[in-house]
Chain A
Amino acid sequence: MTTRPILIHPDPRLKKVADPVAEISAEMRALAEDMLETMYDAPGIGLAAPQIGVLKRLIVMDCVKEEGAAPQPVALFNPEITWSSDETSVYEEGCLSIPEQYAEVTRPSEVRVRWQDMDGKLREEQFDGLWATCVQHEIDHLNGKLFIDYLKPMKRQMITRKMQKLKRERARV
């Protein structure tokens, strides 16, 4: 396993719609492992393949479940939201591609997601709480969407300018 560099917004690759994963090959599974390591190292609770420059429909998350339930790091290939609740919840979100910027985002508080697991098996599960927010945030990445796209234009532009400055500073070092 290796950690991969995370792209920082603005980057054209973060704006693209990612391609479906046709075959869950050994190479794809290795990519998922690298993404998990990159996510833990960051640290974050979710990461989408486009964030490391791979335009494939793959996300990883680490779900802390309720007390007593076995939590598992999960890799979701070709995830799709099949149902969302009318009820919404608000979380202060951050993104590994937009370091140190946080903002409240309103999203459906529960979603049902269908995906293929590491073995290519089709799975479907309902997510709530933080995990509903996280899975929606990550699936957005596969469609070229960032959490700042939910913010008012002024705030979004301010964050984007900060990120441009951060990238210039990092390029100089």
Chain B
Amino acid sequence: MSLRPILTPPDARLRQVAAPVTTFDAALRDLAQEMAAIMYAAPGRGLAAPQIGELRRLFVMDTGWKETGDRAPRTMVNPEIVSASDATQVMEEGCLSLPGVPVPVTRPAQVTLRWQDLDGAPREETFTGFAATCVQHERDHLDGILCTDYLPQKARAAALARLEPRP
């Protein structure tokens, strides 16, 4: 069995602002599980709901599984960045919606994220390093922002031209 495809540009759903999640039910849990399965199969470290056409504010991530082999998917619902460091870092970001196009992006090196878990309970945590970049990247998807948007116009066009067709 395979799962629904990950959208790529120029799909308009990647560019929309997703709606807040208000109901924390079994259907939301199922969606999070499906998103995790799609993320692992891709394989990737993060996936936001709009990337599979669900315009709802949630993403899944697992920053370490490729190295450790252990999977620990986390689901962040209605995530907000409540503080960000002045210090920045540059990372080569990959995106499942931009296959074959790693993009260098400068972002705050440390962010505090507030979100709700699958039961609707509020959570807050501070992320650094790759995880900090990852939560900001996924959070951006919920507002229709792609990592290529941070590139100067010329570099952006060149990056999108390198986009590999998803098989």
A-side interface residues toward B, CB under 8 Å? 40, 42-47, 62, 64, 66-68, 70-71, 89, 91-96, 99-100, 102, 129-130, 133-134, 137-138, 147
Contacts and interface: CB of A to CB of B under 8 A. Distances in A.
Contacts of A102: 4-5
A73 B146 CA distance: 32
Main secondary structure of the interface of A (DSSP, over half): mixed
B54 to A, nearest CB: 11
16 contacts: A43-B2, A44-B1, A62-B37, A66-B33, A67-B72, A67-B74, A67-B75, A92-B4, A93-B1, A94-B4, A94-B5, A102-B4, A102-B5, A130-B37, A137-B1, A138-B1
B4 A64 contact: no
A43 B34 contact: no
B29 A129 contact: yes
Contacts of B72: 67-68
B36 interface: yes
Interface stretch (B38-46, B80-88, B147-155): B38-46
Contact of B37 (A45, A93, A95): A45
A47 B5 CA distance: 17
Interface residues on B, range: 20 to 34
Interface of B: 1-5, 29-30, 33-34, 36-37, 40-43, 70-75
B37 A43 contact: no
A67 B30 contact: no
A58 B5 CA distance: 26
Given A43-B41, A43-B43, A71-B71, A130 B30 contact: yes
Nearest to B43: A43
Contacts of A71: 71
Contacts of B73: 64, 67
Contact of B1 (A89, A95, A129): A95
B2 A95 contact: yes
Given A67-B74, A67-B75, A129-B29, A45 B1 contact: yes
A134 B36 contact: no
A75 B153 CA distance: 49
